[in-house]
Structure 1
Amino acid sequence: MDPATAKILVSAALVASISLFSLVSIQAFIAQIASDLRAAKAVRVPVRAEHRQPPQA
């Protein structure tokens, strides 16, 4: 195998491994966001609505 072919194969392997790592990282990031949103939706915070008085002239 000549050096040019070896360089191309090594470069292709690096690009493939970086792409796979990025895909896994993005997938984990999205899964964490979805988990956080589900957890936040499960916790309900009571909010009291105040009745405002109209301004008096």
Structure 2
Amino acid sequence: MVLGIDKKFAWVLLPMLGFGIGHYLDKKETERMVRFRDKSALYGRPDGSDKEPSW
């Protein structure tokens, strides 16, 4: 036991910490990819109307 941390605590803390970091990175990747959702509109002709995005 070092600094009050025993094996049981580590077996619970490490997976939860890994899940938290993975969740954070997944949310950041989703935010980044949102910019590319309607990339095809970049190359399309302007039709003059305010249509909804294709997604």
Whole-angstrom CA distance in 2 between matches of 1:47 and 1:9? 60
Larger RCO (alpha carbons 8 Å, 6+ apart)? 2
Higher Cα Rg, which structure: 1
Post-superposition shift, 1:44?
A: 4.9
CA distance in 1, matches of 2:47, 2:37: 19
Alpha-carbon separation, structure 1, partners of 2:46 and 2:10: 56
Q: Give the structure with the larger helix fraction.
A: 1
User: Alpha-carbon deviations, 1:4-44, whole Å to 9, x = none?
Assistant: 8211011110111001110111011001102225x266245
Structure 2 residues without counterparts, runs of 5 or longer: 50-55
The aligned counterpart of 2:24 is 23
Shift >3 Å, 4+ stretches: none
Q: What is the root-mean-square deviation in Å for CA atoms of aligned residues?
A: 2.5
1:11 corresponds to which residue? 12
Aligned to 1:36, the other structure's residue is in SS state coil
Matched, 1:46 2:47: yes
